[in-house]
Structure 1
Amino acid sequence: MSVTAEERARLTSERDQIRDKYLAPREQRPASAARGIHHTALISGDVQRSVEFYQNILGFPLTEMFENRDLAGSTHFFFDVGHGNALAFFDLPGVDVGDYAEVFGGLHHLAISVTPENWRAARERLDAAGVPYQLESETSIYLRDPDGARVELISDQLGEMYGHPVG
């Protein structure tokens, strides 16, 4: 799917109008009502495989595991992704989730900030494990986790993307 030059110009104009209306200069923005992302929850097709991937390959320690309160027998488990943030998973035994389909409001990808040193180490572990990925510049690696979720490891500072503030 691609857009025509005319459609792109219209979309650019629309984006500019939204930015002009809602994006206040950094020094004029009110403080956020949020404290941060407590956790983002994804679905795991295999608990052990997810733990091995996220802890052993990506380097995010498993921090907690218990039965999911919403589905008997289901496991809810968490990984430390830094700054008090967690990446959580549920497995859904007995539930047919069907094939993946990109939907509006669905997860496009999860971008996790890592130091340049941890970025290089994760890349080496991905290579050693034979996990395919897409290298985007020297700051981003895009990959799919064992269940197909798109993950980006980005070595830019938190609050920045490609040298520009985003937070």
Structure 2
Amino acid sequence: MNRKPLKGIHHVSAITGDAKRNYEFYTKILGMRLVKKTINQDDPSVYHLFYADERGNPGTDLTFFEIPMAGNTYPGTNSISTTSLRVPSDEALDFWQKRFDEFGIDHDEVSKEYGRATVAFQDFEGQRLLLVSDENNDGVAPGKPWDKSPVPIEYGIQGLGPIFLTVPKLELSETLLINVLGFSKKGTYASGNKNDVHVYETGEGGTGGEVHLVHRDDLQPERQGRGSVHHVAFRVENEEELKKWITYLKELRIPNSGFVERYYFKSLYFREPNGILFELATDGPGFEGDEDFDHLGENLALPPYFEQDRAEIEARLKPLETKH
């Protein structure tokens, strides 16, 4: 049963303790569009917010579960340690540095990582983020920033870039990426902290199709909380392809969730050998099945199988105003 290669990064899901401040940071400062305000389908008492390009194209979604009681993150290994966001050019990074200074956002200076200009920064909860210039990218195509964003389109965030995993046992994660998921190894570079970073790519590669493994055996495992990443998802073309992956993982006896209906996409979850949660998610159907393009993210959207519980769900959620 031939499976097509994974097409790249699909989305990253992280944890916030404050949906309101999270919404303000990612839409008003970073200029991303809230394309869906919904619930965590595994815990309908909390919000799940999706920030993306203009319509939530696959590969552009940075999502957050609101867990108000979440403690602080204690960074370490066995973790998704940095999420990068693609911007169109090196020039855009100059714009972003000025913008971060204007809003009092903690950030580093421009540096080169793996031949690309980058700027590291953090949100109000210490979420570790990295702007990556797409100036020389010839891999996975970017998304399209929303034209009603407070950030000019020519500088806007156009999707997810390389995802950084910090692991104590490099060879285990590498074997899974290459031998199971079909990534190819592209190279190695030294990062600012002098640790080697190993680069793997899938699909058309480039900024939207890379995983960077940071090898650290001198740290404790990360303790997740507000400001940490819960999981990373990779793109599969459709439900038929996803079912091939489910069969394949079953043949390899890799424990997994089996098929999971998420309404906006279909999914499969499993943990790689260093304990990091991976998801495979279909490119469609997308976010316009229950809201039209002009009004994405304005109201609480519930998959049809939750609609009968809407009154109870809304009563438990703190109101969050997201109308444009």
TM interval, short-chain normalised: 0.5 to 0.7
List runs of 5+ in structure 2 lacking aligned partners. 1-17, 36-53, 55-145, 298-324
Q: 144, 147, 150: which one pairs with 2:277?
A: 150
Q: Secondary structure at the match of 1:127?
A: helix
* Superposition deviation, residue 53 in structure 1: 0.8
* TM-score (normalised: structure 2): 0.38
In terms of fraction of residues, the more strand-rich structure is 2
List runs of 5+ in structure 1 lacking aligned partners. 1-10
| 8 A contact 1:58–1:125 mirrored in 2 | no
Q: How does 1:8-87 map to 2 (within 5 A)?
A: 29-30=148-149, 31=153, 33-59=156-182, 61-72=183-194, 74-80=196-202, 82=204, 84=206, 85=208, 86-87=210-211
For 1:115 and 1:24, how far apart are their aligned partners in 2? 23
| 8 A contact 1:77–1:90 mirrored in 2 | no
* Superposition deviation, residue 79 in structure 1: 2.4
- Percent identity for Structure 1 against Structure 2: 18
* TM-score (normalised: structure 1): 0.67
For 2:157 and 2:249, how far apart are their aligned partners in 1? 34
* Superposition deviation, residue 106 in structure 1: 0.7
For 2:168 and 2:229, how far apart are their aligned partners in 1? 16
| 8 A contact 2:178–2:185 mirrored in 1 | no
Q: Secondary structure at the match of 2:230?
A: coil
Q: Secondary structure at the match of 2:284?
A: coil
**What's 1:125 paired with?**
248
Residues 125 and 161 (structure 1 numbering): CA distance in 2 closer, same or farther, change over 3 Å? farther
Q: 232, 239, 244: which one pairs with 1:110?
A: 232
**What's 1:136 paired with?**
260
Q: Which moved more, 1:135-144 or 1:76-85?
A: 76-85
**What's 1:6 paired with?**
none
Residues 152 and 73 (structure 1 numbering): CA distance in 2 closer, same or farther, change over 3 Å? closer
Q: Secondary structure at the match of 2:160?
A: coil
For 1:115 and 1:161, how far apart are their aligned partners in 2? 16
For 2:245 and 2:216, how far apart are their aligned partners in 1? 28
For 2:211 and 2:274, how far apart are their aligned partners in 1? 15
Higher relative contact order (CA 8 A, sep 6+): 2
For 1:91 and 1:108, how far apart are their aligned partners in 2? 19
Residues 87 and 73 (structure 1 numbering): CA distance in 2 closer, same or farther, change over 3 Å? closer
Q: Secondary structure at the match of 1:143?
A: strand
What is the aligned length?
149
**What's 1:5 paired with?**
none
* Superposition deviation, residue 41 in structure 1: 0.4
For 1:100 and 1:45, how far apart are their aligned partners in 2? 11
Structure 2 residue 214 is matched with structure 1 residue 90: yes
For 1:147 and 1:24, how far apart are their aligned partners in 2? 32
* Superposition deviation, residue 70 in structure 1: 3.5
Residues 24 and 54 (structure 1 numbering): CA distance in 2 closer, same or farther, change over 3 Å? closer
